[in-house]
Structure 1
């Protein structure tokens, strides 16, 4: 089970060479950043624990990876969501379908009599956990202090690769959901006195919300990566033609990217490069999550028609 030490490839984008850290090549059950975020749980024993509890979207990468973790550890998994779309219930696929196959119990709050308007996090804190013992609770997207263990090892790999290639100045770029990976990579570089900059963009909730997420993990602003903000506001999970066009262009590189975070990440990187006068090597962190394309591509088909989605085939 490969969970570390991924290769770095080079692709041409925006009329320049860009390095790509291939964390998408990690074991598919813990593809990309989930292998890093969940490394602590994979490498340590938890005597007495019998259940894993999490929450998020029914198509979240974390749902599938948590189901794989629970299966590997011999735990049960309860994963709470706000709701599950009817077409997903009827035809389970992607992360949701794979998690069900691993034995996950996905619980939708809109089907519970005692949810009483609570969000998933509050419901777990107020209703579930007070009556549970011997459980491990993982916040949405793996955003917790345990993630630092594996993400720091990723940062070490990046430093080693940069040293081997005599790259004395480097920018690491990645799109962020909870911001956990970007924060802990940057924290490692700062605390080790390494002059590698980390840039990111907010895929969920905007730059102010991402800064808030950073602060909850570390109140030291030096640990916070620089956020690249696009002029246009994109809503998480919404379909945009420019996202699909960017994804299609990326596919020409021979590397498969996912459709939820990567298109925004590359648009933000292009925006940064257009504004920057620096000629610094760029390392894009490919965080995996390709299973999500099983549901994202049909959504593009439903919204824009077969012609747009099939034009790359």
Structure 2
């Protein structure tokens, strides 16, 4: 399977002309930034591995992507979550449903008697000491294993820029752990392409800490942000309306958890940088919209 060379399409939004790198189209199940981060797991040889063990939220994009990867590789996935709400158990949606359909073993830590208040990371470390047939995956793919796939993405961007003869290019993408943005900056550092991102989880200082944890020597992308306080995962009507407008004007469905906040920041930043040509990296996450839209419709009574 070749997880590269996703198409780049041109769009207009609020009189802004821009391009989208459609990594959401890499594969029907294994796509977006997680496909780039986990590409080495798919392409490299792991003859003795039979199981992946990871952790995160019950609707994490990494949960579904790892489940798809394990289905392709014929591995077992054991994925630990802090808590599975009853309404999610009763009516599975989004990434949780998709992962279950692909055979993932999703473990609710809140139901384990031996948890002893341990974080998922620590619980896994204590319980998986024999790693001869098991790979432990950091939350969200935040590790050096992501470098190979993001390096490929950076080369595709550079090739596209040269082919299109595009000047003053800025590459934009939102950040959770910031792994993708960090490695993009590393491999585009010696070009005239600027990489910009925003801190979707926590403040700017927290994102910088994540950068340093992944690769303390790598150059950092530009972090942009408005003065608006952002609470990750909290419903925001303005973000929901922006997300709907994006799809209506571009005919592209974006991720509802990360992309609206990045676009809020871009719509403030771009007028101050009028000579920039925007290439937005679509990082997938579309299956997660199923649960997010349900939350918004219930909240807004629509």
Q: TM-score, normalised by structure 2?
A: 0.96
Alignment of 1:178-257 (within 5 A): 178-190=177-189, 193-220=190-217, 223-252=219-248, 253-257=250-254
Q: Deviations over 1:72-99 (max 9, x none)?
A: 2121111011101111111112111111
Aligned equivalent of 1:309: none
- The answer to whether the 8 A contact 1:25-1:31 is kept is yes
Q: CA deviation at 1:153?
A: 0.3
Residues 1:277 and 1:104: Cα distance change in structure 2 (over 3 Å): closer
Could you tell me which runs of 5 or more consecutive residues in structure 2 were left unpaired when the two chains were aligned.
Answer: none
- The answer to whether the 8 A contact 2:144-2:215 is kept is no
Aligned equivalent of 1:142: 141
Q: CA deviation at 1:38?
A: 1.0
Aligned equivalent of 2:48: 48
Q: CA deviation at 1:105?
A: 0.7
CA distance in 1, matches of 2:45, 2:216: 30
CA distance in 2, matches of 1:278, 1:220: 31
CA distance in 1, matches of 2:55, 2:88: 17
Greater mean deviation of Cα atoms: 248-257 or 132-141: 132-141
- The yes-or-no answer on 1:287 pairing with 2:283 is yes
Alignment of 1:254-293 (within 5 A): 254-274=251-271, 276-293=272-289
Aligned equivalent of 1:72: 72
CA distance in 1, matches of 2:122, 2:259: 30
Aligned equivalent of 1:33: 33
Residues 1:153 and 1:132: Cα distance change in structure 2 (over 3 Å): closer
Q: Deviations over 1:160-186 (max 9, x none)?
A: 000001123211000011101101111
Q: Secondary structure at the match of 1:67?
A: helix
Q: Secondary structure at the match of 2:144?
A: coil
CA distance in 1, matches of 2:245, 2:174: 18
Q: CA deviation at 1:131?
A: 4.7
- The answer to whether the 8 A contact 2:54-2:79 is kept is yes
Q: Secondary structure at the match of 1:208?
A: helix
Could you tell me which runs of 5 or more consecutive residues in structure 1 were left unpaired when the two chains were aligned.
Answer: 307-313
- The answer to whether the 8 A contact 2:185-2:220 is kept is yes
Alignment of 1:3-14 (within 5 A): 3-14=3-14
Of 278, 293, 300, which aligns to 1:297? 293
- The answer to whether the 8 A contact 2:167-2:277 is kept is no
CA distance in 1, matches of 2:45, 2:91: 36
Q: Secondary structure at the match of 1:202?
A: coil
Q: Deviations over 1:211-235 (max 9, x none)?
A: 10001122236x1111112211111
CA distance in 2, matches of 1:2, 1:297: 31
Greater mean deviation of Cα atoms: 146-155 or 6-15: 6-15
- The answer to whether the 8 A contact 1:14-1:270 is kept is no
CA distance in 1, matches of 2:28, 2:203: 29
Q: Secondary structure at the match of 1:233?
A: coil
Q: Deviations over 1:263-283 (max 9, x none)?
A: 111111111113x24411111
Q: CA deviation at 1:2?
A: 5.4
Cα RMSD (Å): 1.3
Q: Secondary structure at the match of 2:256?
A: coil
